[in-house]
Amino acid sequence: MAQSSKYVELFVAESREHLQQCNAQLLAWERDLEQDAPIAELFRNVHTLKGMAATLGYSRLANLAHAFEHVLGSVRDGGVAPSAELVEVSFRVVDRLEQGVALAAGGNDDAIQDRELADELVSFSKPATGTFPVPALRADKTPQPEAGGVVVRIAIAPGTPMAGARAALVLRRAESLGAVSAVSPPVDTWGSEAFTGDFACRIATAAQDDAIQAELSQVGDVASVTVIRGATPAATSSPATQVRVDLARLDRLVNLGGELSVMAHRLAADLARREDPALVAAGHALDVLVTDLQEQVLRVRMAPVGEVFERFPRAVRDLARHLEKRVRLEIEGADIEIDRAILEELPKILLHLLRNAVDHGIETPAARKKAGKGSEGRIRLSARRDRSTVIITVADDGRGIDEVAVRAQARELGWGADADAPDLLRILGRPGFSTRREVSDVSGRGVGFDAVLHRVRALGGSTELRAPAEGGTMIVLKLPISVAVVPALLLRVANDRFAVPLGFVAETARLAPEVDGGKVTYRGRELPLVLLGRREAGPVRPGVILEVGGRQGVLLVDTLLGQEDVVVRPVNAPRGVPRWVNGATILSDGLPALVLDPTALV
Amino acid sequence: MGHTVLVCDDAIFMRTMISDILAQAGYEVIGEAESGAQAVQRYKELKPDLVTMDIVMPDMSGIEAVREICKADPDARILMCSAMGQQALVVEAIQAGAKDFVVKPFQPSRVLEAVQRLLG
């Protein structure tokens, strides 16, 4: 909204009055903590101030006023006991609000120090959101239509402010059609912010479907009105309907889906060679259907990354405060879905990267100012889907990595070859590396960066370090959307075929035969040789450079066969399998191959 | 056009802003009130086509005022003006008889949309 000076003047004048009254009420409250009157008045004054500030877009001022109002509301409602400490903090808050009004009116809302005081206030009460749980609209609780009446299901458009109040307006309209009963979920839960606005109720009306829909849709922001008649079975496919399924059963379903998909693919390929066009078409149709089925089955195991991301803003804030820094975490792509098994591993990995960003990347407010940046650092945590992978990026606008210092320390540690490797992760990801001599109590201890790289690899993913042109540091994680299907490199050694998860493959090359005491010289570096069974040194052969947690090894092979998404299944052999075998898979030609576990090889 | 409106809010700032939004759209603001009690009294005097009602006000809350006004005139068209986080109060106001609501900070278009819905 345009900030005409008329409004700003009114705002300043009225705010001063309200804050003066606040001071008077605080003094009265301090004299007698058990009085109710000053609290009610304080609440009202602060509430009004908040409303004005929010309307003019003074978000920090509004934020502080909101925190204050919330605590006062809790005191009024008996949720928080009044105390001398709270009164003391309240005085400081009123002072800060007074300064804030002047700053905001001068166009400097950004300069208001709202956070710490707001945090102090929060420490007196419970957080403002999630007051009480709302029972979801469940199919089994949906009222059944009776003679002479209908059941309606109403959905409020997603994103509508105060969906519960919007739903209450619809309910009022429904009452104009006839007596309303069996409202689900009950109206007394609609005040919660968690209520989505979707509800069902019975209306005793003789009106036709379209008349009911027209009447109820007159309230704005109604997404849908579904009328259910007695003859129609209750629609059970409501979005809120959920079932709980044992994860082990799901896994079996995923495995079967995977094999079915491979078989269908093979069958389609076989049929494509037939003369009969009907068979060819049927084969393709089957292949498409099964691929679709496989995708749907995999989706059952998936959950949005937001489930994990949502814990981080608080963690980052706490950490930043601890280090006396100011950091804002921005989250993008919270709705991107990934396999639950991977999702469960994400917190450890991301927390480590975020800690690094706050501790090592983002500078102190003073240092940032010196560098001509805003005093508040930014970290962006984003997820996006790229074909069969999910790409998660952690980017900060901090000082970036000092490449010279990193390489210097690597040399000091005697890591000659790695010190000059183009990829800095060679150094940063090696166990024992730290540029911080004094170990901070935030990061630098516990899991190292090598552990992060290792975890990502173990999930079949890869890690990349980037130094964006605009400064700061960016870590890019590439993860498969599902653990059940892994992109793999296929290769042949003697008469056997193997699959190596691509996440462990650094590169492939044709290698000279200077096999010397189990070592191969490659690009001036001596790498340990990995042999499957007994192999003699021979002529130039293809080799796969495997990389596991910063360590590398060369696997000499006879033929590289290509790349394929494989479904990894455990192998149950009575005498066991070599420890470097991770499982088995059926390739698209219908024949089996062993899946290698590079972590056991390198 | 030419519908009449009574604007109730304890902040002059808010009253001015709402009045400006409505006046620019051609509505006639015929009165203001800065407390719940005053809102009830002025409604009876002025019989406006529409009332905008703040919730948190001194001397009788906006919800009480809605109840009182609807007791006297069940067809009163009252638009609640609420801050974020007051959903429970807005639901209460609607049960008391309020016909629609808008959420602060206001977007003029949302306010006018609601007003048109009520007066249309």
List residues bridging with A498 in a β-sheet.
A491, A594
Contact of B1 with chain A, judged by CB distance below 8 Å, is answered with: no
Give me the sheet containing A541-548, strands edge to edge: A505-511, A541-548, A551-556, A525-530, A519-522
Q: How far is CA A464 from CA A23, A221, A338, A479, B61, in A?
A: 56, 44, 19, 12, 59
* Number of Cβ atoms within 10 Å of the Cβ of A37: 11
Contact of A194 with chain B, judged by CB distance below 8 Å, is answered with: no
The C-alpha of A456 sits at a distance from chain B's nearest C-alpha, in angstroms, of 41
The C-alpha of B96 sits at a distance from chain A's nearest C-alpha, in angstroms, of 10
Residues 6+ positions from A252 with CB-CB distance below 8 Å: none
* The predicted structure's pLDDT at residue A129: 41
Q: pLDDT tens digit string along A301-322?
A: 788 898 888 778 877 877 888 8
* The predicted structure's pLDDT at residue A457: 78
Taking CA–CA distances from A129, the nearest residue in chain B reads B85
- Long-range contacts: A531-535, Cβ < 8 Å, 24+? A531/A556, A532/A493, A532/A496, A532/A498, A532/A580, A533/A493, A533/A494, A535/A493
Contact of B72 with chain A, judged by CB distance below 8 Å, is answered with: no
Contact of A466 with chain B, judged by CB distance below 8 Å, is answered with: no
Q: Are A381 and A394 in contact (CB under 8 A)?
A: yes
Report how far residue A226's alpha carbon sits from residue A209's, in angstroms, rounded to the nearest whole number.
9
Q: How far is CA A79 from CA A70, A75, A93, A123, A392, in A?
A: 11, 6, 20, 13, 41
Residue found under tokens 């994990």: A308
Residue found under tokens 């006639």: B28
Question: Are B13 and A218 in contact (CB < 8 Å)?
Answer: no
Burial of A178 (0-12, 13-18, 19+ CB in 10 A): middle
Report how far residue B94's alpha carbon sits from residue A285's, in angstroms, rounded to the nearest whole number.
55
Taking CA–CA distances from A191, the nearest residue in chain B reads B88
Report how far residue A407's alpha carbon sits from residue B47's, in angstroms, rounded to the nearest whole number.
81
Please provide residue A143's backbone torsions phi and psi, each rounded to the nearest 5 degrees.
-60, 145
Taking CA–CA distances from A160, the nearest residue in chain B reads B103
Supply the DSSP string of A44-91, one letter for each residue: HHHHHHHHHHHHTT-HHHHHHHHHHHHHHHHHHTTSS---HHHHHHHH
Length in residues, chain A? 602
Contact of A192 with chain B, judged by CB distance below 8 Å, is answered with: yes
Which residues between 124 and 183 in chain A have a beta carbon less than 8 angstroms from any beta carbon of chain B?
A: 128, 161-162, 164-165, 168-169, 172
Contact of A8 with chain B, judged by CB distance below 8 Å, is answered with: no
Question: Are B14 and A164 in contact (CB < 8 Å)?
Answer: no
Question: Are A48 and B56 in contact (CB < 8 Å)?
Answer: yes
H or E, element range at A19: helix A5-31
∠ CA A506-A511-A517, rounded to 5°: 100
CB pairs under 8 A between A and B: 97
Which has the closest alpha carbon to A556: A580, A573, A536, A576? A536
Report how far residue A328's alpha carbon sits from residue A398's, in angstroms, rounded to the nearest whole number.
12
Question: Are A190 and B91 in contact (CB < 8 Å)?
Answer: yes
Report how far residue B105's alpha carbon sits from residue A58's, in angstroms, rounded to the nearest whole number.
11
Question: Are B91 and A187 in contact (CB < 8 Å)?
Answer: yes
Taking CA–CA distances from B97, the nearest residue in chain A reads A172
- Amino acid type, B18: I
Question: Are A52 and B85 in contact (CB < 8 Å)?
Answer: no
* The predicted structure's pLDDT at residue A514: 58
* The predicted structure's pLDDT at residue A230: 56
Residues 6+ positions from A536 with CB-CB distance below 8 Å: none
Which has the closest alpha carbon to A129: B84, B105, B54? B84
Question: Are A220 and B94 in contact (CB < 8 Å)?
Answer: no
Residues 6+ positions from B52 with CB-CB distance below 8 Å: B5, B6, B7, B8, B9, B18, B22, B78, B79, B81
* The predicted structure's pLDDT at residue A308: 86
β-strand pairing of A559-567 with A525-530: unpaired
Helices (H), A185-246: 209-217
Among A52, A57, A218, the residue with its CB nearest the CB of B11 is A52
The C-alpha of B114 sits at a distance from chain A's nearest C-alpha, in angstroms, of 8
Among B13, B84, B91, the residue with its CB nearest the CB of A7 is B13
β-strand pairing of A462-466 with A541-548: unpaired
The C-alpha of B28 sits at a distance from chain A's nearest C-alpha, in angstroms, of 20
The C-alpha of B118 sits at a distance from chain A's nearest C-alpha, in angstroms, of 10
Residues 6+ positions from A367 with CB-CB distance below 8 Å: A399
DSSP type of residue A516:
B
Residues of chain A in contact with residue B16, where contact means CB-CB under 8 angstroms, are 6-7, 10
Contact of B63 with chain A, judged by CB distance below 8 Å, is answered with: no
Contact of A508 with chain B, judged by CB distance below 8 Å, is answered with: no
Residues of chain A in contact with residue B88, where contact means CB-CB under 8 angstroms, are 190-192
Residues 6+ positions from A331 with CB-CB distance below 8 Å: A306, A309, A310, A312, A313, A380, A381, A382
Question: Are A7 and B16 in contact (CB < 8 Å)?
Answer: yes
β-strand pairing of B78-82 with B100-103: parallel
Q: pLDDT tens digit string along A514-557?
A: 555 667 777 777 777 776 655 555 667 788 888 876 678 888 88
Taking CA–CA distances from B116, the nearest residue in chain A reads A220
Residue found under tokens 């069958």: A267
Instruction: Report helix, strand or coil for A126.
Output: coil
Contact of B23 with chain A, judged by CB distance below 8 Å, is answered with: no
The C-alpha of A121 sits at a distance from chain B's nearest C-alpha, in angstroms, of 17
- pTM here is 0.42
Question: Are B11 and A47 in contact (CB < 8 Å)?
Answer: no
Q: Are A308 and A343 in contact (CB under 8 A)?
A: yes
Question: Are B13 and A47 in contact (CB < 8 Å)?
Answer: no
The C-alpha of A45 sits at a distance from chain B's nearest C-alpha, in angstroms, of 9
Contact of B94 with chain A, judged by CB distance below 8 Å, is answered with: yes
Report how far residue A41's alpha carbon sits from residue A45's, in angstroms, rounded to the nearest whole number.
6
Which has the closest alpha carbon to A168: A187, A189, A193? A187
Report how far residue B118's alpha carbon sits from residue B22's, in angstroms, rounded to the nearest whole number.
14
**Where on the phi/psi map is residue A506: left (φ > 0), alpha (ψ -120 to 50), or beta?**
alpha
Q: Are A75 and A86 in contact (CB under 8 A)?
A: yes
∠ CA A178-A180-A183, rounded to 5°: 155
Contact of B100 with chain A, judged by CB distance below 8 Å, is answered with: yes
Q: Are A339 and A301 in contact (CB under 8 A)?
A: yes
In this structure, what token pair is assigned to residue A57? 């877009």
Contact of B70 with chain A, judged by CB distance below 8 Å, is answered with: no
Q: pLDDT tens digit string along B25-44?
A: 999 999 999 999 999 999 99
Judged against a pLDDT cut of 90, whether residue B52 lies above it is answered with yes
Helices (H), A241-276: 247-271
In this structure, what token pair is assigned to residue A420? 């000059």
* C-alpha torsion sign, points A75, A79, A84, A89: negative
Mean pLDDT by 10 residues, chain A (602 residues): 69 87 86 85 90 86 91 86 87 91 89 86 62 39 54 84 90 87 79 80 84 87 80 38 68 79 78 79 78 75 84 80 87 89 87 89 91 91 85 92 81 77 76 54 53 80 83 89 79 87 83 63 74 61 79 84 78 72 78 83 78
Q: Are A504 and A457 in contact (CB under 8 A)?
A: yes
Among A7, A165, A218, the residue with its CB nearest the CB of B87 is A165
